[in-house]
Amino acid sequence: MQALQKIQAVARSIPSGDHGFAVSLMEHLIVPTFVIGADGNVLIWNKACERLTGFAADEVIGKNEHWRAFYDTPRPCLSDLLLQRRFNDIRAMYEGGGGYGLSDFGVSAEDWCVMPRVGERLCLAIDAGPIYDTAGELMAVVQTLRDVTAQKRAQINLEALAIRDGLTGLANRRYFDVKFGEETRRAARDQLPLSLLMIDVDYFKLYNDTQGHQRGDECLRAIAERISQTLWRETDFAARYGGEEFAVVMPNTPLSGAMLIAERLRTAVEELHIDHAASLAAHCVTLSIGGVVGRGRDLEAEQLIASADAALYCAKRNGRNRAVVTKFEDARIMAAGAA
């Protein structure tokens, strides 16, 4: 935003007769910059912008298709939205990414751009600000760009480390607590079903005692990988809940879907054929799964977890190596009976 403020200040200080000097100044700035006029057509596309986008100035000047330098399908740039005073669209388009900011000088945002000519997605920090004439009429909008891809990727990697379990690579308990709370509130608001599976490795302590902790870690990693492979929807996620226990959250999934996935998970791990001679449930490593499906405005994360735990207890009590998935209302009765 500082670069944009300087450009605006210089533009305001230049006499109207020195238009050529203003254009020359913009063209030779080291900051990638372009300017669109009040009609939306490109007036200036400087050298730094050419280097960043791979588009030469004569390809865009006098036209309103500057989006082609950044995206592979038509969509407005930040400067276009500011020119048209589409502030609601700015909020909708950018608040889910790196966010956006409004000030007296203009608008700032971050966006992952396709960059068709460059052939690589770049994260750009974007500033767009208006330029007014001496009568106070909007005459142009200037947009500056910074490539922050390296910083953004480093940030993403750090965030990924903060939410991942170091052993299995699944989400950790801390992330589960936050994400499951969000999904519970969303399901309650939208009146959609929310399914939760609590998964326990059968007789895992005996496995560690007989096979050793290193083999135990390998076993947990193999199970986590199989769980990830079984969940194919982007909205579903799995976490290591603690020790040998895992959790799977499936938004907008009814009872029939939860039962299907629970049985697929149980079968998928059994088919790994990890030898477990000390198990009292089978000759290989198996899972017990308890699941609950909730729906309603009064959904609470803690209640769903308690109900899934009750279903898991039922699966263990009935011989393990099985899945028990039920509706939230029935799970509460089950929990009362277990108590």
The set of catalytic residues is 244
- At 209 the pLDDT is 95
The count of other CB atoms within 10 Å of the CB of residue 259 is 20
Q: How far apart are CA 96 and CA 240, in angstroms?
A: 27
Domains 2-154 and 166-338 share a fold: no
pLDDT tens-digit readout, 79-114 = 999 999 999 999 888 876 666 788 777 899 999 999
The CATH classification number of 2-154 equals 3.30.450.20
E strand map for 81-121: 100-103, 106-113
- Domain residues of the chain, as ranges? 2-154, 166-338
- At 45 the pLDDT is 96
Q: How far apart are CA 45 and CA 143, in angstroms?
A: 10
CB 7 within 8 A of CB 105: no
3.50.50.60, 1.20.1740.10, 1.10.1670.10, 3.30.70.270: which CATH number matches 166-338? 3.30.70.270
Which portions of the chain are predicted below pLDDT 50? Answer: 14, 17
Supply the pTM of this predicted model: 0.60
Listed in sequence order, the residues at least 6 apart from 85 whose beta carbon sits closer than 8 Å to its beta carbon are none
Say which amino acid occupies 108. S
- At 6 the pLDDT is 56
pLDDT tens-digit readout, 123-163 = 999 999 999 988 889 999 999 999 999 999 998 888 777 89
- At 4 the pLDDT is 60
